Amino acid sequence: MQGVNPYRATVEGYARLLREGRSLPLGGIASPAGVPERPDAPKVLILAPHPDDECIIGGLALRQLRERGAAVVNVAVTQGSNRDRQAGRLDELRAACGYLGFGLRTTVPGGLEKISPKGRAADPANWSAAVACVAAILREERPAAVFFPHVADWNGTHIGTHLLATEAMASLGPSFATTVVETEFWAAMDTPNLMIESSAADVADLVAATSFHAGEVRRNPYHLTLPAWMQDNVRRGGEIVGGQGGAAPDFAFATLYRVRRWERGGFRPAPAGRAVAAAAPLDGIAGV
Report d(CA 196, CA 253) in Å as an integer.
8
3-state helix, strand, coil in the chain (%, to 5): 40, 15, 40
Beta bridge partners of 147: 46, 181
Q: Please give the residue that has the higher pLDDT: either 99 or 36.
A: 99
Report d(CA 241, CA 232) in Å as an integer.
13
The predicted-structure confidence for 7-21, as pLDDT tens digits, reads as follows 999 999 999 999 999
Contact yes or no for 147/45 (Cβ under 8 A): yes
Asked: is 40-278 a CATH 3.40.50.10320 domain? The reply is yes
Contact yes or no for 29/58 (Cβ under 8 A): no
DSSP per-residue letters across 63-91 = HHHHHH--EEEEEESB--S-HHHHHHHHH
Helix (H, G, I), strand (E, B) or coil at 129: helix
What percent of the chain stands above pLDDT 90?
A: 90
What is the rounded (10 degree) CA torsion for 103, 77, 52, 98? 20
User: Cβ–Cβ contacts within 10 Å for residue 227, how many?
Assistant: 21
Domain-wise residue ranges, the chain? 40-278
The predicted-structure confidence for 210-266, as pLDDT tens digits, reads as follows 999 999 999 999 999 999 999 999 999 999 998 888 778 999 999 999 999 999 999
The predicted-structure confidence for 151-161, as pLDDT tens digits, reads as follows 999 999 999 99
Tell me which DSSP letter residue 285 carries: G
Cα Rg of the chain, angstroms: 19
pLDDT at 283: 87
pLDDT at 1: 55
Q: What is the average pLDDT value for the chain, to the nearest integer?
A: 95
User: Which of 47-51, 70-74, 232-236, 280-284 shows the lowest mean pLDDT across its residues?
Assistant: 280-284
pLDDT at 67: 94
Contact yes or no for 120/154 (Cβ under 8 A): no
The predicted-structure confidence for 148-200, as pLDDT tens digits, reads as follows 999 999 999 999 999 999 999 999 999 999 999 999 999 999 999 999 999 99
The predicted-structure confidence for 70-92, as pLDDT tens digits, reads as follows 999 999 999 999 999 999 999 99
